[in-house]
Structure 1
Amino acid sequence: MADRSRAKPRHPLGRLVRSLGKRVRRLREGGNERRFLDAARGIVHVGANSGQEAAGYARLGVPVVWIEPLPDVFAALETRIASYPRQRAVQALVSDTDGAEVDFHLAGESSSMFAFADHKKLWPDIDAKGVLRLTTSRLDTLMDRLGLEASDYDSLVVDTQGAELLVLRGAGARLAGFRRIVAEAADFEAYRGATNVEELTAFLAAAGFRLRHKASMAGRKDVGTYYNLYFER
């Protein structure tokens, strides 16, 4: 999943501590995620970024389909996974509708279909850098187009900065083919109109998924907490 750090003073030592903390969280969360997905037959990863988890997925020995919307990030993703023959990338913005044009807000690893809300309170040094007009696709449409069978891809990872519920709704009947889902969500309004932990958990519970583990990624008492959520049916 995309990693973030707690807000820290902009002092050189503070930046160093923040960087080290970020690496520790990446190692910890990467380990949790790989253990959770250890029995996966195949992984669909929506919100790929540049494929930071590629090496870990390769150690699982399963096929992986990465989905990433931004052209420049997608190019970096293709370069990263070029040495992994069982991994492939698709450039698309996944939502709950096919063919809708939306403004995608650019902010590095915090880029999203939604504009910042309280995200800035937790990470004041991350700034929006404009918008890019993109066209959406449903996940079930993409999977049908790619010929992905549920028997081969039973695990879903969603890291879409607040659009996780839209991605899951766009899976339609395909959602029933997944056994494990890893998703990221906050318990506060990080982005305007984005989903949160409670909404995501309720939606997946209605679809037969149970929350097995909730791992804190970053947070602040007066703002809220970001989590990686691990669901299983």
Structure 2
Amino acid sequence: MSRLASLLHHPKPLRFLLAQIFWRTGWGRRMKFPLRAFRLHLHPANLAWQLWVDRHQRDADMQLIRDLLKPGDTMIDVGANIGFTAIEGAQAVGVNGVVHAIEPHPRIHQWLKENLALNQMAPPQVQCHAVAVGEAASEKGGLLTDSRRDDMNFVIAPGCERHSSMNQKGITVPVSTLDVMFSDLPRCDLLKIDVEGAELAVLRGASRLLKSTSKVLIEAGDPNSVRHGSSADELLAHLETAGFEVSNADQDDKGGTPINIENYRRHVGNWLAMRR
């Protein structure tokens, strides 16, 4: 669909047009807008302008995070982006809980920290980590795509750098594993993973952490996982072998419906894995 067609078919065309201008020029950088019970900066980030156009489009996703947490809980947010899920989680766990927000992209990580500061959230309640997470730690780091669609950036799988159409825009970022980062963490009440296809690699690097994790909220689907040579079938098998019961967690179905793996051959959606 062309940009003009997208504008004409959008339910809020004027707001959509303004958001495109803000996004591409950064003119809205000093603006702030409310989202649920907190506020966000209108940074020139893809998710920021989407949420400014429609402040309710992620309500169901954020409500699920709030429903899965209680005061005093610990949440790990892998792929925190500009921080709206981390902030929602922090409000749910309260001052006695902890949220670890992981975002490797330097520019997006800075915006994450600015949004946390805007909402008076700081360590020890919310802790930020500027690192990519994978199956193995790497001293030389990994190549992260640097797309203008910044909510869709991903770490290019080792050996696939030359085959990535976005390689020329890649940036090198540190790479670690969840087991290395949280070797002393006594428990994780909610592990949220949204890493554009590297979800299985993240889980493979979290074998110890998973044993003390009660819930995993994870994005899944072959259109993304194929970038890393994996599949939704492998992801499902890994979670089930680790002792989780996995159900659908898309906006219209907040858990409870068993996964139909055929739906994820061409579709990307959210799964909720609960420890048996």
Q: For the superposition of Structure 1 and Structure 2, which TM-score range results when normalised by the shorter chain?
A: 0.7 to 0.9
Match of 1:52 in 2: 84
Match of 1:149 in 2: 186
Hey, what's the Cα distance between the residues in 1 that align with 2:235 and 2:70? Answer: 23
Within a 5 Å distance, the mapping from 1:67-216 to structure 2 comes to: 67-82=102-117, 83-85=120-122, 86-99=125-138, 101-107=141-147, 108-114=150-156, 128=166, 130-144=169-183, 147-150=184-187, 153-189=188-224, 191-193=226-228, 195-215=230-250
Q: Which has the larger radius of gyration?
A: 2
Which 4+ residue blocks in structure 1 deviate beyond 3 angstroms? 15-25, 37-40, 187-191
Structure 1: state its 5+ residue gaps. Answer: 1-7, 116-126
Choose the corresponding residue for 2:8, options 13, 38, 59: 13
* Gap change, CA 1:192 and 1:138, over 3 Å in 2: same
SS at match of 1:81: helix
Letter in 2 for 1:32: L
Hey, what's the Cα distance between the residues in 1 that align with 2:62 and 2:239? Answer: 22
Task: Give the deviation of 1:156 after TM superposition.
Answer: 0.6
Letter in 2 for 1:14: H
String of CA shifts for 1:151-184, please: whole Å, max 9, x gaps.
xx32211111101111111112121010000110
Task: Give the deviation of 1:41 after TM superposition.
Answer: 1.6
Is 1:42 equivalent to 2:97 in the alignment? no
Letter in 2 for 1:102: G
Match of 2:267 in 1: 225
String of CA shifts for 1:29-83, please: whole Å, max 9, x gaps.
2222322334872101111111112332133123101111111111111111221
Task: Give the deviation of 1:23 after TM superposition.
Answer: 4.8
String of CA shifts for 1:1-52, please: whole Å, max 9, x gaps.
xxxxxxx553212244686996544112222232233487210111111111
CA contact 1:114–1:191 (8 Å) conserved in 2 = no
Hey, what's the Cα distance between the residues in 1 that align with 2:270 and 2:72? Answer: 18
As a proportion of its length, which structure holds more strand? 1
* Gap change, CA 1:40 and 1:160, over 3 Å in 2: farther
- Between 1 and 2, higher relative CO (CA 8 Å, sep ≥ 6) is seen in 1
Identity of aligned residues (%): 26
Hey, what's the Cα distance between the residues in 1 that align with 2:87 and 2:103? Answer: 17
Structure 2: state its 5+ residue gaps. Answer: 17-49, 158-164, 253-262
Moved more, 168-177 or 37-46: 37-46
Hey, what's the Cα distance between the residues in 2 that align with 1:139 and 1:197? Answer: 21
